[in-house]
Structure 1
Amino acid sequence: MRLLRALVVSLFLLVAAVTAPAVTAAGAGWTSVWTTSAQMPSKTMGPSWSLEGFSNHTLRQVIRVSQGGLATRVRLTNRYGTGTLAIAGGTVAVTGTGADIRPDTLRPLTFGGAAEFRIPAGAELATDPVPLPVAPFQSLTITLHLAAPTGPATHHAQALTTSYRATGDHRADAAGTAFTETTQSWYYLSGVEVFEVLPQRSGVVAFGDSITEGVGSTVGADNRYPDELAERLAAEGIPRAVIDQGIGGNRLTVDSSWLGASAQRRFQTDVLEQPGVGTVIILAGINDIGLSAAGPGAADTVVPVSTDQLVAGHLDLIRRARAKGLRVIGATLTPIDGSPYFSPAAESARQALNSWIRTAGAYDAIVDFDAALRDPANPRRFAPQFDSGDHIHPGDAGYAAMAAAVNPADFG
Structure 2
Amino acid sequence: MSIRALRAGFIALLVSLVTASTAAAPAQAHSVRHWTATWSTANIPAAPDPFGGTNWADGFDNQSLRQPVRVSRGGSEVRIRISNVYGERSLRLTGASIGRAADGAAIQPGTLRPVTFDGRRSTVVPAGRQASSDAVSLRVTALEELTVTLYFAERTGPATFHPFALATAYRAAGNHLADRSAGAYTETSQSWYFLTGLDVSGRPGEAVVAFGDSITDGAFSTPDANNRYPDELAERLVAAGSRKAVVNAGIGGNKVLTDNNPGFGDAAITRFGRDALGQSGVRTVIVLEGINDIGLGEGPEAVPVTAPQLIDGYRKLIRAAHAHGVKMIGATILPFAGVIYPGYYTEHGEQVRDAVNNWIRTSGEYDAVADFDRALADPADPDRLNPAYDGGDGLHPNDAGMRVMAQTIDLREL
Instruction: Say yes or no: TM over 0.5.
Output: yes
1:216: which partner in 2? 220
Structure 1 position 256 matched with structure 2 position 260? yes
SS of corresponding position for 2:276: helix
Change (3 A) 1:302 1:182: farther
Aligned counterpart for 1:72 among listed residues 72, 78, 90:
78
**What does 1:87-166 correspond to in 2, within 5 Å?**
87-166=93-172
* Counterpart residue identity of residue 393, structure 1: H
1:356: which partner in 2? 359
* Counterpart residue identity of residue 41, structure 1: A
Task: Find the aligned partners of 2:280 and 2:172 in 1 and give their Cα distance.
Answer: 33
1:313: which partner in 2? 313
Task: Find the aligned partners of 2:177 and 2:303 in 1 and give their Cα distance.
Answer: 44
Task: Find the aligned partners of 1:302 and 1:399 in 2 and give their Cα distance.
Answer: 30
SS of corresponding position for 1:160: coil
1:86: which partner in 2? 92
User: Which structure 1 residue ranges, 4+ long, deviate > 6 Å from structure 2?
Assistant: 14-18
> What TM-score comes out, normalization by structure 1 length?
0.90
**What does 1:3-402 correspond to in 2, within 5 Å?**
19=32, 29-44=34-49, 45-196=51-202, 198-200=203-205, 202-257=206-261, 258-292=263-297, 302=302, 304-339=304-339, 340=341, 341-402=344-405
1:5: which partner in 2? none
Shift of 1:16: 11
Change (3 A) 1:342 1:16: farther
The question of whether the paired residues in 2 share the 8 Å contact of 1:61 and 1:141 is answered with yes
Shift of 1:116: 1.5
The question of whether the paired residues in 1 share the 8 Å contact of 2:37 and 2:280 is answered with yes
**Where in structure 1 are there 5+ consecutive unaligned residues?**
1-13, 20-27, 294-298
Task: Find the aligned partners of 1:273 and 1:301 in 2 and give their Cα distance.
Answer: 33
Task: Find the aligned partners of 1:88 and 1:47 in 2 and give their Cα distance.
Answer: 27
Alpha-carbon RMSD across the aligned residues, in angstroms, is: 1.8
The question of whether the paired residues in 2 share the 8 Å contact of 1:34 and 1:243 is answered with yes
Change (3 A) 1:389 1:199: same
* Counterpart residue identity of residue 170, structure 2: Y
Shift of 1:15: 8.2
SS of corresponding position for 2:110: helix
Change (3 A) 1:30 1:239: closer
**Where in structure 2 are there 5+ consecutive unaligned residues?**
1-26
Shift of 1:43: 1.6
Task: Find the aligned partners of 1:123 and 1:402 in 2 and give their Cα distance.
Answer: 34
Offset from partner CA, 1:387-409 (integer Å, 9 cap, x none): 11111000000000000100012
1:296: which partner in 2? none
Matched-pair identity in %: 47
Task: Find the aligned partners of 2:228 and 2:61 in 1 and give their Cα distance.
Answer: 32
Task: Find the aligned partners of 2:326 and 2:278 in 1 and give their Cα distance.
Answer: 11
Moved more, 333-342 or 124-133: 333-342
The question of whether the paired residues in 1 share the 8 Å contact of 2:338 and 2:385 is answered with no
Task: Find the aligned partners of 1:313 and 1:112 in 2 and give their Cα distance.
Answer: 39
* Counterpart residue identity of residue 158, structure 1: F
Offset from partner CA, 1:121-162 (integer Å, 9 cap, x none): 111111110001111100011001111001110001121110
Task: Find the aligned partners of 2:400 and 2:148 in 1 and give their Cα distance.
Answer: 29
Task: Find the aligned partners of 2:303 and 2:53 in 1 and give their Cα distance.
Answer: 26
Task: Find the aligned partners of 1:334 and 1:94 in 2 and give their Cα distance.
Answer: 36
Shift of 1:76: 0.5
> What TM-score comes out, normalization by structure 2 length?
0.89
Shift of 1:347: 1.1
SS of corresponding position for 2:259: coil
* Counterpart residue identity of residue 189, structure 1: L
Offset from partner CA, 1:221-258 (integer Å, 9 cap, x none): 00000110110111122341011100000000011322
Change (3 A) 1:300 1:146: farther
Shift of 1:301: 8.5
Offset from partner CA, 1:43-70 (integer Å, 9 cap, x none): 2223243442111111010100000111
The question of whether the paired residues in 2 share the 8 Å contact of 1:230 and 1:239 is answered with no
Change (3 A) 1:34 1:181: same
1:23: which partner in 2? none
Shift of 1:260: 0.3
Aligned residues: 383
Change (3 A) 1:263 1:69: same
Task: Find the aligned partners of 1:116 and 1:239 in 2 and give their Cα distance.
Answer: 33
